[in-house]
Structure 1
Amino acid sequence: MTSFPFNDINLDDLKQGVENGSLILVDVREADEYASGHIKGAQFNPLSKFDPAKIPVAPEGKKVIIYCRSGRRSVSAMEMARLAGRRDLDTHFGGGILGWLGANLEVEKGL
């Protein structure tokens, strides 16, 4: 349960945002998970070393989306960002990489 409101982007909107470049993706899984497959273009910022300051402020017309494996760590990352004063990091893909892979969508491999 979170102590602040957050948003959850659905798969179709995530897919569209990845395709049209309107999203900045941040993967908060650990290095081995990220290397085994991540959404194309996602920044690597693992929860174990999560630093909200390393996430750029989205320019006008763009949105930062945080994701993990299944939605739990992304909520933790949003809470950490909020505590660090980042009110803009309030949206995640609750389905995580499992939801992305479950829809048979492609991933990039490597760090």
Structure 2
Amino acid sequence: MLKTLLAFLGINRSANTMSDRIRTVDAATVMGWLRDGSAVIVDVREPQEHRAGHIPGATLVPLSRFDPARVPDATGKHLVFHCQSGRRCGPASARMAESGYTGSIYRLSGGMAAWMAASGPVER
């Protein structure tokens, strides 16, 4: 029905839209990806938040000065952005997609709060 409505309105929706490439993911799934080495984690919180506790191996690229060029290469891996509650990783994910990154991008649902609630490992 949505396709029909979009066609009627003259809106072309490509198979690779931003919403198709940016997905949310739960903490348990990310933990599995970390265990098997298939995730690149990017923390978009501020440095003081990162120092207080972060997902092991996460690279800090604060949203306040986000630069897609500072995001580690995630070729062949899941690129996961996280923040404290799951809000700030949205703009970071969008900027990453807009930069020309062609892989799938994931946002940790509920952020660091959900990670800790799921007993995810925390590095200080």
TM-score band, normalised by shorter chain: 0.7 to 0.9
Decide whether aligned partners of structure 1 residues 23 and 59 sit closer, same or farther in structure 2, where only a CA change above 3 A counts.
same
Partner of 2:47: 31
Larger Rg: 2
Cα RMSD between the aligned structures?
1.6
Partner of 1:17: 33
Task: Determine which of 42, 55, 58 is the counterpart of 1:42.
Answer: 58
Q: C-alpha offsets along residues 47-88 of structure 1, whole Å, 9 cap, x if unaligned?
A: 00111111133232x111111011110001011112222233
Q: Quick one: higher RCO (CA 8 Å, sep 6+), 1 or 2?
A: 1
Partner of 2:95: 80
Contact preservation (8 Å) 1:81, 1:89 = no
TM-score normalised by the chain length of structure 1: 0.86
Partner of 1:97: 112
CA deviation after TM superposition for structure 1 residue 107, in Å: 0.5
Structure 1 portions without partners, runs of 5+: none
Q: C-alpha offsets along residues 17-47 of structure 1, whole Å, 9 cap, x if unaligned?
A: 1111110000000001000000000001000
Question: Which one-letter code corresponds to 2:18 in the other structure?
Answer: F
TM-score normalised by the chain length of structure 2: 0.78
Structure 2 portions without partners, runs of 5+: 1-16
* Count of residues in correspondence between the two structures: 106
Decide whether aligned partners of structure 1 residues 23 and 41 sit closer, same or farther in structure 2, where only a CA change above 3 A counts.
same
Contact preservation (8 Å) 2:75, 2:103 = no
Identity %: 34
Contact preservation (8 Å) 1:70, 1:97 = yes
